[in-house]
Amino acid sequence: MQIIPLFVAIPLGAAFFIPMVGRKNPRLCDMLTNITTLALFLMALSVIGKETSVYWMGGWIPRLGVPLGINLVLDGMSVFMLVTISLISFLVTVYSIQYMDKFTSKARFYSLFLLMVAGMNGVALTGDLFNLYVFLEIASIASYALVAFGCEHEELEASFKYLVLGSVASTLILFGIAITYAMTGSLNMAQVSTIIGGDLKAIHLFAIALFISGFGLKAALVPFHAWLPDAHPSAPAPISAMLSGVLIKTIGIYAMARVMMNVIGLTPLISYIMMVLGTISMVVGVLLCMGQDDIKRFLAYSSISQVGYVVLGIGLGTRLGIAAALFHLINHAVFKSLLFLNSGAVEYSTGTRDLNKMGGLKEKLPVTGTTSLIGSMSIAGIPPFSGFWSKLFIIMACVQAERYGFAAWAAGVSVLTLAAFMRLQRRAFFGEPKEAYAAAGKVPGSMKVSMVGLAILCVVMGLLWLPQVQHAFLIPAARVLQEGLDYASYVLGM
């Protein structure tokens, strides 16, 4: 029994099945969804450290080294993404059990949620360019619908904005894929990479430009970020956590890194473009985040900034840089989901997201306040929390690659992040009680469980950098990207 296709098939099947059985019985939906996401998480954990394996759909195995069908590739990088996606989606579904009670039609919510997970898992696994586009669209369409889930003024407006920019991005990516096909006559990533072989012509540069703008739009890197601060805050809190935590990383950064490094091959030009985009995102994101009064909008801008770190690290192209960037990617997934879930808990109990109306909430909401403090310290880079280590290693990687300017920017942005998050803590959870304080009610148990789980992860994730753990999890993922065009040799078995 092959495990690889199940990563896509299980959530896809569950997304179809849950609205059928669960329309009358929301509790059954909760149970089925949580079982599905837990199963995916356990499956993802079970494939850590396994050999790279390739699954050819429909049994179309390659003849004479020429691929015939679509393949799914489970290598270090895919395993890394699968673990990140399934970890966050499991904790988010636990949170949704009680948070989503205030919405009607929970079954449809879960169905769209699992569809999004199926799309993301597919993006992480696929070894075919057109298949990448298909899975990317599955994840995107589900996320457009989830952003509009509340069907109120703001949600619809944000969703429309997101949808238009998202479809433009998809069209650019499809255009890039079509040009790649026209140039190489193949869509299989491994075969395309052997045909291009690092030898770039002008037309390839056009395709690269299309890919960078397309994936950059999906990842909300700075010149393309306009939709994110509207879309992420408007969605229900669990979906904000998924979008900021994993979606922009999977269909934006992961897909960009995979195409740039394993298919086209990292040239100094691409590497430089990625580093500059990352740095601009880092700086602009944190500056815009400073002036926000809406707690979720604040977090959304800070996502742009943190994603910049990941792109900067991957753009460096060194083993340390990529490993540190991936470390930051999974850390950011954990603490940003935690902070979004906290903001959801605050909104749930007080009914407002406006920081001007909050203050002193820590007394009324002790669990939310404490976990939010842990998340903030982690994102701000205070030792011993996980965010400190990953930022430190990204800065070290910049220094090691003799990119001192970028290292200085990364360190400076880290200080600004600290300032911004301390201010957030002071306005929301400490200080004088304001009107939201009186309104604050209880936070339900399932939401607390999920937030506490993520807060514990914020503390212990630093251990991922320990040599033994690092060699099982982060290094195989970084190696896949760093070895670049060698990807073809193990996928096609040559």
Partner 1 sequence: MHYALCLMLFMVGLYGVMVKRNLIKIIISLIIMESAVNVFIVMVGYRKDGIAPIMNKAMEAETFVRSSVDPLPQALVLTAIVIGLGVTAMTVAIAMRLYERYGTYDIKEIRKLKG
Burial of 261 from C-beta contacts in 10 A (0-12 / 13-18 / 19+): buried
Nearer to partner 1 by Cβ, of 143 and 425: the residue is 143
> What is the distance between the alpha carbons of residues 379 and 332, in angstroms, rounded to a whole number?
7
Please select the residue that binds partner 1; options are 70, 72, 82, 145, rule is CB under 8 A: 145
Asked if 164 touches partner 1 (CB under 8 A), the answer is yes
Strand segments, DSSP code E, in 431-485 are: none
Q: What is the DSSP letter of 73?
A: E
Q: Footprint of partner 1 on residues 116-135 (CB under 8 A)?
A: 130, 133-134
> What is the distance between the alpha carbons of residues 10 and 37, in angstroms, rounded to a whole number?
9
Q: Is the dihedral of CA 240, 129, 84, 58 positive or negative?
A: positive
Closest distance to partner 1 from the beta carbon of 299 (Å): 15
Please select the residue that binds partner 1; options are 6, 178, 449, 459, rule is CB under 8 A: 178
Q: Footprint of partner 1 on residues 230-249 (CB under 8 A)?
A: 230, 234
Segment interacting with partner 1 (CB under 8 A) among 16-24, 163-171, 248-256, 307-315: 163-171
Asked if 195 touches partner 1 (CB under 8 A), the answer is no
Half-sphere exposure of 69 (CA within 13 A, CB side): 11
Please select the residue that binds partner 1; options are 39, 47, 57, 156, rule is CB under 8 A: 156
258: nearest Cα among 432, 138, 133, 85: 133
Nearer to partner 1 by Cβ, of 228 and 410: the residue is 228
Q: How many residues bind partner 1 (CB under 8 A)?
A: 34
Closest distance to partner 1 from the beta carbon of 379 (Å): 24
Closest distance to partner 1 from the beta carbon of 45 (Å): 32
Closest distance to partner 1 from the beta carbon of 128 (Å): 11
Computed on alpha carbons and rounded to an integer, the radius of gyration of the chain in Å comes to 21
Asked if 350 touches partner 1 (CB under 8 A), the answer is no
Burial of 326 from C-beta contacts in 10 A (0-12 / 13-18 / 19+): buried
Closest distance to partner 1 from the beta carbon of 281 (Å): 17
> What is the distance between the alpha carbons of residues 23 and 83, in angstroms, rounded to a whole number?
30
Burial of 46 from C-beta contacts in 10 A (0-12 / 13-18 / 19+): exposed
Q: Is the dihedral of CA 238, 239, 240, 245 positive or negative?
A: positive
Asked if 144 touches partner 1 (CB under 8 A), the answer is yes
Q: What is the pattern of x (binds partner 1, CB under 8 A) and - over residues 287-326?
A: ----------------------------------------
225: nearest Cα among 263, 179, 276, 280: 280
Asked if 148 touches partner 1 (CB under 8 A), the answer is yes
128: nearest Cα among 191, 196, 198: 191
Closest distance to partner 1 from the beta carbon of 361 (Å): 24
Closest distance to partner 1 from the beta carbon of 347 (Å): 16
> What is the distance between the alpha carbons of residues 479 and 474, in angstroms, rounded to a whole number?
9
Segment interacting with partner 1 (CB under 8 A) among 145-153, 263-271, 308-316, 414-422: 145-153
Please select the residue that binds partner 1; options are 137, 228, 303, 312, rule is CB under 8 A: 137
Nearer to partner 1 by Cβ, of 102 and 153: the residue is 153
Asked if 170 touches partner 1 (CB under 8 A), the answer is yes
Residue linked to tokens 């001007």: 356
Asked if 103 touches partner 1 (CB under 8 A), the answer is no
The answer to whether 413 and 282 have CB atoms below 8 angstroms apart is yes
Closest distance to partner 1 from the beta carbon of 153 (Å): 5
Asked if 171 touches partner 1 (CB under 8 A), the answer is yes
> What is the distance between the alpha carbons of residues 185 and 169, in angstroms, rounded to a whole number?
23
Nearer to partner 1 by Cβ, of 117 and 187: the residue is 187
Interface residue list for partner 1 (CB under 8 A)? 130, 133-134, 137, 141, 144-145, 148, 151-154, 156-161, 163-164, 167-168, 170-171, 174-175, 178, 181-182, 187, 226, 229-230, 234
